[in-house]
Amino acid sequence: MVQINRKLCVGCATCIPYCPVEAFKKEAEERKVYVDEEVCTNCYVCIRNNVCPVGAIEESNLDNFMKQFQHVISDPTVTSEGTGVPGRGTEEAKTNDVTGRYGRGEFGICIDMGRPGIGCRLRDAEKVAMAVAQAGVVLEGPETTPLATLMTDIKTGKLVDEALDTNVLSVIIEGKCPKEKLPDVLMALRRVEKEIETTFCLGIVSRAEQEEASFFFETLEKLGIPKPFRGKVNVGLGRPLIP
């Protein structure tokens, strides 16, 4: 985790409001700041912004895979070695005109967990990933999204046990499902949202064709889900790498 040099710390608490997950806390007796290791995500917001006036905040020793994963997934200035994408290591659906990941009769599913500034235990990410996989989502592999590198079974969304207690600033679960499975996926998300201790935003990727759009909005109406009031449009200027 990010470390506080106790010899340098003067207990001014300037750093406390800068931490997005409230990992900085002040001791009652010595009145110095310490880092809650169970909460810190190694996002390095405090270090990148040089928030300590006496330089008492120091980088941690990322001496194992889980600490490295935590840092890469939480620090938007770092590029994931697995996917070659900066930020959280995934382009989501933004380049579908080139990748062709979502075809006709399919809906892309992008579940953004832990934002903004709430954080997400990977235990909760596993619950959501397993719920949507069981409902019909085919999860993306490690070449596309970093979370998949922790999965013992890409078909079920199960993560390695040593990852479950890790806290990250945010993480994205990605996949796609056949058109007829979309209602099941949405219902699964409704159920699992009551079982987790964080929040998520759901992005649904649809081709800009009337049939898909009509089905999407009709499905939302049947399930009593409000229509989205914003979205992103990929205008299709790229050349797909696959048919």
pLDDT band at 92 (very low <50, low <70, confident <90, very high): confident
Same domain for 111 and 198, yes or no, is yes
Q: Using one digit for the tens of pLDDT, what is the confidence trace for 106-146?
A: 899 999 999 877 899 999 999 999 999 999 999 999 888 89
CATH of the domain at 28: 3.30.70.20
Same domain for 10 and 94, yes or no, is no
Residue 115 near residue 52, CB atoms below 8 Å: no
pLDDT at 228 over 60: yes
d(CA 198, CA 104) in angstroms, rounded, equals: 33
- Mean of the pLDDT values across residues 48-69? 89
Range of the domain at 51: 1-61
Same domain for 93 and 186, yes or no, is yes
**Average pLDDT of the chain, as a whole number:** 87
Same domain for 102 and 214, yes or no, is yes
| The residue to which tokens 């996949």 are assigned | 175
pLDDT at 241 over 70: no
SS3 152: strand
Joined together, the tokens standing for residue 176 give: 């796609």
In a domain, 54, yes or no: yes
Q: Using one digit for the tens of pLDDT, what is the confidence trace for 10-33?
A: 999 999 999 999 999 988 777 899
pLDDT at 242 over 70: no
